[in-house]
């Protein structure tokens, strides 16, 4: 089987056909970056008990495991011991799903020989902050992706890393935290059980569909947040600090979301390659639908990033305009006040002038101050300086 390796953009490139490992001359796996702490994102469901029927009571791994077995496209067993998986792998009519929740290297080593998992893929599955990618090995594919959910209150994006080993008759999912609702993935499989006859491609489609829909929902939530931000931008009462802080929060979330959405285009596109023999012709329309969602999410993310940048620039422009208005008003009132000050200074000189030391002089000075102030006020008001 031809061996390929994802480049830093997530593209699968051909390597030496005789080499079962990734190209050693290629750049090492990149790091996604620091992620915000992932809280429980099961929307109220307990990660210890979700998809209860699939939880294994007997497993050689220390981490929690879930299993499912399909035979001829029909769900036959759930929650059976992990040690029994090897008994079914030789049967070409069987498709197996194994889920491991936060395993360590020893947990994956238990299964490495049984499934023929490559050591480099196992290493990527153990270490966090891998970039979204699809790596191809002799006996299996290794996929890394991220679930996402936006906290609408704070504007922060929570991400959940997921690794998956795709073999001819088994899908092994490795969840590195509790952020991804594996129960929702199981629900999707059950909702489209008529596709189970297509084996691993059916399981992988449900997984990718759930992940990509999470990206799409996050982008939609960000779009709603940006609309609220636009309303605050032109509010009657200035909210400069709120708009500025919220803009930076949303921009930060958009940058992070873009870094996990953009590579998914190449990941999904690579999965659909015919030479991988994962997606059958019957499943291809379903994968094209997932790919369409990936493209829409990626394009939407780019447009929102530009929109948030425009909001930041517009906010600065509005602040500048408000400052100019304030400056004009202050300058106009200063000019109005300066005239009476000049007049009182003139009449305060200790020299004889018309009406000096008489009441008529005071009346004249007051009249000049009132008339000049009224004239300046009228002129400034007409020119919209007040």
pLDDT tens for each residue of 211-226: 999 999 999 999 998 8
Q: What is the distance between the alpha carbons of residues 297 and 272, in angstroms, rounded to a whole number?
A: 19
Quick one: 66 and 193 in the same domain?
yes
Distances in Å between the alpha carbon of 203 and those of 93, 96, 242? 15, 9, 44
Enter the tokens of residue 23.
């190209």
* Amino acid 355: pLDDT: 67
Quick one: 192 and 56 in the same domain?
yes
**Residue 344 structural domain:** 326-382
* Three state DSSP letters for 167-235: CCCEEEEEECCCCCCHHHHHHHHHHCHHHHHHCHHHHHHHHHHHHHHHHHHHHHHHHHHHHHHHHHHCC
The residue from 272, 299, 317 where one domain ends is 317
18-68 pLDDT, tens digit per residue, is: 344 433 333 333 334 443 443 444 455 778 888 899 999 888 888 899 999
Enter the tokens of residue 286.
């379903």
What is the mean pLDDT of the segment spanning 246-265? 90
CATH number of the domain residue 198 falls in: 3.30.460.20
CB atoms within 10 A of CB 297: 26
**Interhelix angle for 200-233 vs 240-271, to 10°?**
160
Quick one: 143 and 89 in the same domain?
yes
Quick one: 35 and 132 in the same domain?
yes
**Most confident residue range from 134-138, 350-354, 375-379:** 134-138
Residue (of 262, 260, 264, 257) closest to 221 by Cα position: 257
pTM: 0.73
Q: pLDDT confidence of 372, banded at 50, 70, 90?
A: confident
Quick one: 274 and 332 in the same domain?
no
* Amino acid 379: pLDDT: 83
The residue from 280, 299, 317 where one domain ends is 317
pLDDT surpasses 60 at 167: yes
Quick one: 348 and 254 in the same domain?
no
């Amino acid at each position: 089987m031809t061996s390929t390796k994802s480049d830093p953009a997530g593209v699968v490139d051909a390597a030496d056909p005789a080499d079962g490992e990734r190209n050693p001359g290629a750049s090492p796996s990149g790091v996604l970056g620091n992620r915000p702490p992932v809280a429980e994102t099961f929307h109220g469901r307990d990660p210890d008990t979700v998809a209860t029927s699939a939880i294994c009571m007997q497993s050689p791994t220390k981490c929690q495991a879930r299993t499912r077995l399909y035979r001829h496209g029909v769900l036959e067993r759930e929650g059976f011991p992990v040690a029994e998986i090897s008994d079914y792998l030789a049967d070409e009519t069987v498709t197996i799903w194994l889920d491991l929740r936060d395993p360590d290297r020893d947990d994956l080593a238990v299964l490495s020989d049984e499934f023929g998992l490559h050591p480099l893929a196992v290493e990527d599955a153990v270490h966090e902050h891998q970039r979204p990618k699809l790596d191809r090995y002799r006996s299996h594919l290794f996929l890394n992706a991220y679930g996402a959910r936006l906290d609408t209150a704070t504007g922060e994006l929570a991400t959940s890393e997921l690794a998956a080993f795709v073999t001819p008759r088994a899908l092994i999912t490795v969840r590195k935290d509790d952020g991804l609702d594996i129960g929702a993935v199981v629900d999707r499989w059950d909702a489209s059980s008529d596709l189970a006859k297509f084996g691993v491609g059916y399981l992988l489609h449900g997984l990718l569909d759930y992940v990509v829909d999470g990206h799409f929902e996050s982008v939609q939530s960000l779009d709603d947040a940006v609309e609220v931000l636009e309303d605050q931008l032109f509010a009657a009462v200035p909210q400069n600090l709120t708009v500025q802080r919220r803009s930076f929060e949303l921009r930060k979330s958009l940058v992070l979301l873009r870094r996990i959405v953009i590579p998914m285009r190449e990941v999904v596109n690579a999965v659909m390659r015919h030479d991988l023999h994962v997606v059958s012709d019957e499943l291809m329309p379903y994968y094209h639908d997932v790919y369409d969602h990936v493209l829409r999410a990626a394009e939407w993310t780019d447009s929102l990033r530009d929109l948030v940048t425009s909001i930041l620039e517009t906010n600065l422009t509005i602040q500048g305009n408000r400052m100019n208005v304030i400056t004009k008003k202050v300058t106009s009132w200063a000019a109005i006040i300066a005239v009476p000050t000049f007049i009182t200074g003139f009449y305060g000189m200790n020299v004889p002038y018309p009406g000096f030391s008489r009441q008529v002089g005071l009346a004249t000075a007051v009249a000049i101050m009132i008339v000049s102030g009224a004239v300046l006020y009228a002129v400034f008001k007409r020119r919209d300086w007040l």
